[in-house]
Amino acid sequence: MENILSLESISYRHQEEIVALDNVSVKVKEGEMFAVIGANGSGKSTLLQIMNGLLHPMSGNVTFRGAQITEETLKDRGFLKYFRTRVGFVFQDSDVQLFCPTVLDELLYGPLQLEIAEEEAMERASEVMKMLNIDGLKDRPSYMLSGGEKKRVAIGSVLTMNPEVLLLDEPTNGLDPRTECFLVELMLDLSEAGKTLVIATHDLSIVDELNARTALLSEEHTIEKIGPSDEILRDEELLLRANLIHEHVHYHGKTQHKHRHSHYFSHDH
Amino acid sequence: MKNNIPSFLMDKRASEVVYENKRIRANFIEKGIGSMASFMRSGHIQWRSFLKKGFFQKLDARVKLFFLLLFVIIVSIKKEFMPEVLIGGIVFLLVVLSRLDIVRFYRKVLLFGLIFGFIVALPAALNIITKGEIILPLIHLPRDYDIWIYYIPADIGITREGSRAVMMLTSRVINSVSISFLVLYTTPFPQIIKALKMLRVPDAFLLIITLSYKYIFLFIKTIEDMYLAKKSRMVCKVHNPDARGWITGRMALLYRKSQGRFEEVYRAMNSRGFSDDIKVYKHPGFENRDRVAGAVLLVVGMLLVVM
């Protein structure tokens, strides 16, 4: 499979001061499910924003289908349209992403910008609403939605543009188990439909469920390892080093018991 | 769910890269957000300057606040140009001793001096406002005019007295701003608040400025995120009316968010025993260095007053 997104030796500092990424190289293949895991503050969101050309690295190269993604290339009208319609981003905080008066407007925003005929745009919006079970919300403003509904609308607003690559930043963060389950199934279906998915998360259980190729970011903001999810998730030493699991002491009756703990692993007694 | 995937999502797109060779210029939102980001950066630069081991950074915040008050008063009461130049020289020396970035520091000071001193005071240089000897004639009218409360003479120009007033006001603004920046750049914000508390500034006022200072950074981050979210879905140039619409919507969201946030913060403060009174832990006592520096600054200030 061809590399669709490629990042080579990327370094980025927030406010030119705080290191967010240090010499990170990642290649995402077309149609694959790719997860970026790491502790809080390891640089997952920054990495995704760089993939979407929202932030530009201080050093290193970013390419989409071999074309450079830089501040300069994104100033070209044709290339901007080409890139933005092909790479969609779902933000962690849905509130920042929803800016149209109603849910329907939100879903139509992308297609209408692409100058797709209104009839076809409406059709896309209605199909996406049906898929995401939000057809009953189409006339509601975003501030009258629950967290889970907002997340569905945010995903829908990107899907109506039919992107090839979907970048999802902490997609299941703060959602109830049912919505989380719905999103995992949706991601699997989109992957099966041929979409490339890049997910940034510290929720190890969804990485396992998605069976994604996984990049582990260390707390030093470098890539610790890239490999199949089961290989990475089985390596407790690696996860402990990356601060994704911790040593945990508790009691069974009167017996003190110490083991490594995460919300992904179960442990044997 | 498989069957629910809409057919348009299965459509393959042409993969050839498209360029139009037509450039999109940054609109006013992008420039505005850029300025906000640079404001955030300046907060970090300020934090870096606290960490430098310069003369002013080592002093107690109360000494620095005392210096600020004393020298701003002296700057305001002096009527001659020479003492203002002297004060400017003293502040420059302190900036050098405090190892601040001189170019960055004076670029900001001069910008404020230009806007709030020179440009604001410039009309006062004309004989329409300040009577006196014209040293630079500008316009000659056929006759004098009386418009409402204004008298407009036939010869309009810059007077000696007017230009002196403009120079005085500009130098006062530059000196006051540079003294304030010197203190702000060398004192962490929490220390300023503690020192103000020691100087018996009302708690309500301190609470408002503490929370406002914190929220400025929080909301700039939120605005930046909102802009990035819009940028990620922008496929063409945004027209100004659309941009204005977006800004209005975002302002409403920000207002709602800030309202929710301040209520939550107030409840959190109450739950931790807040009783309308800011408690600060004991401020460390003055060291000899603070006493000597305070005394020297006081003597210099007194000398400037009697000059």
For the stretch B80-91, pLDDT in tens is 888 999 999 999
The per-residue b/e assignment along B173-192, b for 16 or more CB within 10 angstroms, e otherwise, is bbbbbbbebbbbbbbebebb
User: Bigger pLDDT: A83 or A113?
Assistant: A83
The segment with the largest mean pLDDT, out of B103-107, B156-160, B174-178, B263-267, is B174-178
The radius of gyration computed from the CA coordinates of chain B, to the nearest angstrom, equals 27
A264: contact with B, CB 8 A cutoff: no
A99: contact with B, CB 8 A cutoff: yes
Q: Which residue of B has its CA nearest to A17?
A: B44
Q: Between B1, B18, B236, which is nearest A185 by CB?
A: B1
- Asked whether residue B40 carries a pLDDT value surpassing 70, the answer given is no
Residues pairing with B269 in the sheet: none
- Asked whether residue A214 carries a pLDDT value surpassing 90, the answer given is yes
- pLDDT for A267: 47
- pLDDT for B278: 66
Closest listed residue to residue B47, CA positions, set B240, B182, B185, B179: B185
Distance (Å) of CA A202 to CA A38, A77, A190, A217, B62: 6, 36, 21, 10, 46
B230: contact with A, CB 8 A cutoff: yes
Q: How far apart are CA A154 and CA A96, in angstroms?
A: 10
B22: contact with A, CB 8 A cutoff: yes
Of A80-89, A155-164, A254-263, the one with minimum mean pLDDT is A254-263
> How many Å lie between the alpha carbon of A251 and the closest alpha carbon of chain B?
31
Q: Which residue of A has its CA nearest to B27?
A: A75
Q: Which residue of A has its CA nearest to B228?
A: A54
- pLDDT for B152: 85
User: Bigger pLDDT: A114 or B169?
Assistant: B169
- pLDDT for A144: 87
CB proximity list for B41: less than 8 A, separation 6 or greater = A15, A16
Is A99 close to B232, i.e. CB distance below 8 A?
A: no
Across chain B, mean pLDDT equals: 83
- Asked whether residue A248 carries a pLDDT value surpassing 80, the answer given is no
What ipTM, to 2 d.p.?
0.77
Tokens of A220: 């030093």
